[in-house]
C-alpha cells in the first residue's frame, strides 16, 4: 500500500491575520461589555435565548468574565493560527461565523438555556485543526481532543453542568465536516492532514469528477 503525501497548495507562509481579527473583535467587545455597558442593558439582546438573528450572530462575541475570555483566546492563539493559514484569512472569518451559527442552532434545539461565549465557534476551529493539522499535532494531541469531546458529550447527556456542552460538540463536529469539505473542493491546504483521511478525500474527489464528466459527456 502506498502512502499518499499531499503537497501544500503554497509554500509561502501567510500570517493568520483572520485569526488576529477574530481575537481583536472578541477583546474589543469584551471591553465594551464590561467597561461601556456594565449593566448589560444594550448587549442583553445578544444573549442566545431564542432563534433571533441578533442573538445567533451576537452571542459568540460575549463572555462572562476574564477567565472565560482568556481560555478562549488561548485556544484561538494555539489552534486558530493553524486553521487560518490553511484556508486563508477571509475564508477563516466566514467559516468561524458559520460555526458559531451551527453551534447556536444545535444549542437551541437540544438545550435551550440562555448562553453566551465563543466556545462553540472555537470548538469548530479545534475540529478543523484536527483535520487540517493532524500531522502537526503531537502523537497524543488528536486523541486527547477526542477524549475531551467524548467527556463533553457525556456531560451534555447527563445535564449536570452549566456549560453549553451541546454547542461545544456541535461546533467541533461542524468544524471537522467543514474542513473535509474545504479539502474536497481544494479550498484548504491539506499538506498536514492524516494520510488515511486523504485517501478517502481523494476517492470522493474522483467520484465527483467522474460524475461531472459523465453528465457533461
Res 212 pLDDT > 70: no
Residue 7 lies in a domain: no
Res 147 pLDDT > 80: yes
Of 189 and 164, the structure prediction assigns the larger pLDDT to 189
Of 125 and 1, the structure prediction assigns the larger pLDDT to 125
Q: Which domain holds residue 31?
A: 17-216
Res 34 pLDDT > 90: no
CA dist 6 → 61, 69, 87, 119, 179 (Å): 35, 36, 15, 31, 15
Residue 79 lies in a domain: yes
CA dihedral defined by 41, 103, 121, 74, rounded to 10 degrees? 80
d(CA 34, CA 88): 32
Give Cα 5 to chain centroid, integer Å.
25
Q: Which of 8-12, 45-49, 88-92 has the highest mean pLDDT?
A: 88-92
Nearest 5°: the CA angle 168, 68, 169 is: 5
d(CA 163, CA 166): 9
Residue 12 lies in a domain: no
Q: Quick one: DSSP state of residue 77?
A: I
Residue 3 lies in a domain: no
A 10 A CB-CB count for 85 gives: 22
How high is the pLDDT of residue 211? 56
Residue 64 lies in a domain: yes
CATH of the domain at 136: 1.20.1540.10
**Tens of pLDDT, residues 82-120:** 899 999 999 999 999 999 999 999 999 988 889 998 989
Domains of the chain: total: 1
Residue 6 lies in a domain: no
**Tens of pLDDT, residues 166-181:** 888 899 999 999 999 9
**Which of these ranges, 11-15, 183-187, 190-194, has the smallest mean pLDDT?**
11-15
A 10 A CB-CB count for 199 gives: 13
Residue 1 lies in a domain: no
How high is the pLDDT of residue 137? 79
Residue 188 and residue 132 in contact, taking contact as beta carbons nearer than 8 Å: yes
Amino acid at each position: 500500500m502506498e502512502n499518499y503525501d499531499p503537497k501544500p497548495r503554497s509554500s509561502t507562509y501567510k500570517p493568520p491575520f483572520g485569526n488576529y481579527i477574530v481575537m481583536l473583535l472578541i477583546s474589543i467587545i469584551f471591553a465594551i461589555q464590561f467597561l461601556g455597558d456594565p449593566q448589560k442593558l444594550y448587549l442583553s439582546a445578544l444573549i442566545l435565548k431564542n432563534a433571533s438573528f441578533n442573538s445567533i450572530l451576537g452571542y459568540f462575541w460575549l463572555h462572562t468574565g476574564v477567565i472565560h475570555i482568556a481560555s478562549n483566546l488561548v485556544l484561538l492563539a494555539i489552534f486558530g493560527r493553524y486553521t487560518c493559514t490553511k484556508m486563508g484569512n477571509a475564508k477563516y472569518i466566514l467559516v468561524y461565523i458559520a460555526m458559531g451559527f451551527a453551534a447556536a442552532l444545535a444549542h437551541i434545539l437540544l438545550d435551550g438555556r440562555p448562553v453566551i461565549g465563543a466556545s462553540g465557534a472555537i470548538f469548530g476551529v479545534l475540529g478543523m485543526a484536527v483535520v487540517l493539522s493532524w500531522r502537526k499535532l503531537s502523537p497524543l494531541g488528536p486523541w486527547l481532543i477526542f477524549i475531551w469531546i467524548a467527556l463533553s458529550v457525556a456531560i451534555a447527556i447527563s445535564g449536570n453542568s452549566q456549560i453549553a456542552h451541546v454547542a461545544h460538540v456541535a461546533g467541533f463536529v461542524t468544524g471537522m465536516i467543514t474542513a473535509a469539505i474545504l479539502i474536497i473542493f481544494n479550498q484548504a491546504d491539506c499538506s498536514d492532514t492524516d494520510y488515511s483521511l486523504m485517501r478517502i478525500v481523494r476517492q470522493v474527489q474522483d467520484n465527483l469528477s467522474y460524475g461531472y464528466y459523465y453528465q457533461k459527456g
